A and B are shown apart, each in its own frame.
Chain A
Amino acid sequence: MAARVLVGVKRVIDYAVKIRVKPDNTGVVTDGVKHSMNPFCEIAVEEAVRLKEKKLVKEVVAVSCGPQQVQETIRTALAMGADRGIHVEVSGKDYDTLGPLQVSKILAALAKKEEASLVILGKQAIDDDCNQTGQMTAALLDWPQGTFASEVTIDGDKIKVIREIDGGLETIKINMPAVVTADLRLNTPRYATLPNIMKAKKKKIASVKPGELGVDLTSRLEVLRVEEPAQRQAGVKVETVEDLVGKLKEAGRI
């Protein structure tokens, strides 16, 4: 029976909030803006907790990387059923440049340290849409990966994963230890109800620095500029097909 599952959760700007670019074009406004757990991470936590309820895993550990505020996100995971949390302290400039490569190095180091047999992550974050962390983590650990999972079944020391791919669904069987990333249809996450939030206050969240894990946070990427998408130009209505062809020719399209 698999002992420990590591679940990564990311604190992102809430999906319903209207994003605003900072006036200096270096990023988006985050101060005071409503944040919540990345929806795919919620699905990952839910899956981990369900595995625990089915007694297929013994312990669920929730991990998040960031400043003090990510502890709220870890608390939500604890309220959903995770047993304990790990807060990897990253703040300031390091947090601004924190990306999939750094996070996957951190998760790989933690997976080894915690002797996890399964790492479940959301398939991507809704702020950067990278879809890279799960894959990179698996590569760094040299573990098999089951990404875009819409169904996960543990069978002894193997996992059957049904993946959502462009052509339909693909079923694979991978050995444990492994990395799985959750897609939308994997499950419907439960609510973090108030009694569970109150109980979660008593669960432990350990703090650790990336340096203690031997991880170097330097980024190989530099953000040059962030801009709003170009304003949509008004369309033009035409009466006949001839008009349409004429207009396309005018615009040099045909």
Chain B
Amino acid sequence: LLMPLRVVQKPAHRCIRALKAVQTEHVVPQVYTRRSSSAPVPRITSHYTICPRDKDPRWEGVEMERFADEADVVIVGGGPAGLSAAIRLKQLANQHEKELRVCVVEKASQIGAHTLSGACLEPSALNELIPDWKDRGAPLNTKVTEDRFAILTEKYRIPVPILPGLPMNNHGNYIVRLGHFVRWLGEQAEELGVELYPGYAASEVLFHEDGSVKGIATNDVGIAKDGSPKDIFERGMELHAKVTVFGEGCHGHLAKQLYKHFNLREGCEPQTYAIGLKEVGLDYTNPYLSPFREFQRWKHHPSVVPTLEGGSRIAYGARALNEGGFQSVPKLTFPGGALIGCSPGFMNVPKIKGTHTAMKSGMLAAEAIFSKLTDENLQSDTAGIHVPSYEESLKNSWVWKELRSVRNIRPSFHNYFGLYGGMVYTGIFYWILRGKEPWTLKHAGLDAAQLKPAKECTPIEYPKPDGKISFDLLSSVALSGTNHEHDQPPHLTLKDDSVPVAQNLAVYDGPEQRFCPAGVYEFVPLESGEGMRLQINAQNCVHCKTCDIKDPSQNINWVVPEGSGGPAYNGM
């Protein structure tokens, strides 16, 4: 069931606004009404990435040396892409009787605990990676038997036929609990000799003197909320590798740094996202919109209620997903490293599937890296090894063909006729012509730039949750099992502590208090009475990355908290 947001509310207005959004170029509005407040801005951010420790007197004399270890390949992120890469590397190593040390670091306390998805898995990549997955007990048990696609209006449901050949057709696919599938992949990886380290987050990229990537460092532990060292402070550890593979999932924070450092996004479009709750596009323009509450409202639609009635809510979670597809894929390799999975973003949007392409990208990276590392005549200009053959092999694989054929479907919805235009376009150009048209449509630009100032939009009245089908936010968040060590600097860092009130609240009425699916951001009145301040409830964070994506000022920088903090999803 696809629920395009636009159809639920005033279709005509929405379409015209959509057109206007397309016309305004991706420029962050420079309207900056600085409230002249005499009250100083309360200090929010104390993380060392914003407040450096080398000048901080509280850190004088603290031992900052890090223990370092060497591996052949270090993989950041134990999700489908990272584990597929690890498995493939070890398969090749065992096949060719070569020694290869492969280490995977994962911020969740156990493999799969931060994995969230629908999920409808296309087994193509799995069939290539582990052909006997059924005998090995992979948790793919539920084959898709029926597909239904419809447009929902306020009260009614218009069914749309899914013709074979359309990307939404799920014949041959499996409904899986992706967290359990990832856990199973982890077990396969360990059996092959991969070193898995859940509970340890990669927080820093390390560079050689020649600028190539040297490896990563895990997070420091034992820093108090105000940024000072506690008695139990310990430095993270450095893991050096010939090649470091980054598979952090959608909008990874180290990937964000790497894009800037190596200019990997030159020549590709900015990535656009959705939040999986499921699924509300993040390119919405009304700052009064709350994806969580839209989801609650959707559950009450007459055609949805019968499926949910009588059930009880046992889990909750949220995660951003990338929707940019073909146009938004950056450069994938740089000296010393490579990007795989949803981090660069290979999701097939109309199919709503990215797991199979993520896995395949991991496998292709592994193959390219393996041949490079075992090449006896290897000559590298840089200490960290560059593997551009990975990008080449990806562009020659079915992943690229698939992404290319659907590249124009989502952008085709950004037109005057909105949803209907998009469907007509898809019908003609995809179903009949298989995406072979010569032109490539563009996206609307950065999601963060799509918000219009609050005064140009109307606040949305959301119905109260009924406690049976729809629920309030905080009780939902408790079900995610999320928790963080409370005495640590908030990992949702602000480049400038004054911007949330001075700009986000003033111009956009504080959209962060609405788009965060975990209630992390709250605007509360100042103790002195006059004005507001932003309160960050970092412990609630479910690591979805929506705030880093949608903040109109792009002031929020999500960094990794102490390892093993975050949600405790079980087979989500």
Footprint of B on A, CB under 8 Å?
14-18, 20, 31-34, 36, 188-191, 193-195, 197-198
Cα-based distance from A32 to B231 in the complex (angstroms):
33
| Chain B positions within 8 Å of A188 at CB level | 231-232
Taking CB atoms, residues of chain B closer than 8 Å to A33 are: 568, 570
- Among A14, A32, A190, A195, the residue within 8 A (CB) of B232 is A190
How far, in Å, is B178 (CB) from chain A's closest CB? 12
The answer to whether residues A193 and B237 also contact, given A32-B183, A33-B570 and a CB cut-off of 8 A, is: yes
A197 touches B197 (CB 8 A): yes
Question: Does B337 sit within 8 A of A, measured CB to CB?
Answer: no
In whole angstroms, what is the CA distance A195 to B479 when docked? 33
Using known A-B contacts A188-B231, A195-B237, A197-B197, determine if residue A32 contacts B481 with beta carbons closer than 8 Å. no
Residues of B with Cβ closer than 8 Å to A?
67, 69, 105, 109-110, 112-113, 179-180, 183, 197, 200, 218, 221-222, 231-232, 234, 236-237, 314, 478-479, 481-483, 568, 570-571
Knowing that A32-B571, A191-B234, A193-B237 are A-B contacts, what are 7 other residue pairs whose CB atoms are under 8 Å apart, sorted by A's residue number? Answer: A14-B483, A15-B483, A16-B568, A36-B109, A189-B232, A190-B232, A197-B200
B232 contacts across to A, CB distance below 8 A: 188-191
**CB-based contact A190/B234 at 8 Å:** yes
Bound: A190/B232 CA distance, A: 6
- In the A-B complex, list the 4 residue pairs whose CB atoms are closest, starting with the nearest: A16-B483, A34-B568, A32-B570, A195-B67
Question: Roughly how many angstroms separate A14 CA and B222 CA in the complex, as a whole number?
Answer: 20
Instruction: Report which residue of B110, B200, B218, B231 has the largest number of chain A beta carbons within 10 angstroms of its beta carbon.
Output: B110
What are 26 pairs between A and B in contact, CB < 8 Å?
A14-B483, A16-B481, A16-B482, A16-B483, A16-B568, A17-B568, A18-B478, A20-B314, A31-B570, A32-B112, A32-B180, A32-B183, A32-B570, A32-B571, A33-B568, A34-B109, A34-B110, A34-B113, A34-B481, A190-B232, A191-B222, A191-B232, A193-B236, A194-B200, A197-B197, A197-B200
Chain B hits for A31, CB < 8 A:
570
Alpha-carbon distance between A15 and B180 when the two chains are bound, in angstroms = 21
How many A-B pairs have beta carbons closer than 8 Å: the answer is 56
Main secondary structure of the interface of A (DSSP, over half): loop
Complex CA gap A7/B69 in Å reads 30
Is B568 a contact partner of A194 (Cβ separation < 8 A)? no
On chain A, the residues within 8 Å of B231 by CB distance are: 188
Contacts of A15 in B (CB 8 A): 483
| Contact of A18 (CB < 8 Å), options: B110, B179, B481 | B481
A17–B231 alpha-carbon span in the complex (Å): 27
How far is it, in angstroms, between the C-alpha of A197 and the C-alpha of B196 when the chains are bound? 11
In the bound complex, CA of A34 to CA of B571 (Å): 11
CA distance A33 to B567 in the complex (A): 11
Cβ A194 vs Cβ B218 within 8 A: yes
Kindly report which residue of chain B lies nearest to residue A32, judged by CB atoms.
B570
Given A34-B109, A190-B234, A197-B197, also A17-B180 (CB < 8 A): no
Q: Which residue of A lies closest to B230 (CB)?
A: A188
CB nearest to B221 among chain A residues: A191
Note all chain B residues with C-beta closer than 8 A to A32. 112, 179-180, 183, 570-571
User: Shortest CB–CB separation between residue A230 and chain B, in angstroms?
Assistant: 16
Neighbouring A residues of B481 by C-beta, 8 Å: 14, 16-18, 34
Checking B180, B218, B221, B568 against A14 with a beta-carbon cut-off of 8 angstroms, the contacting residue is B568
Contacts of B221 in A (CB 8 A): 191, 193
B33 to A: closest C-beta gap in Å:
41
- Known A14-B109, A18-B479, A195-B69: A34·B234 in contact at CB below 8 Å: no
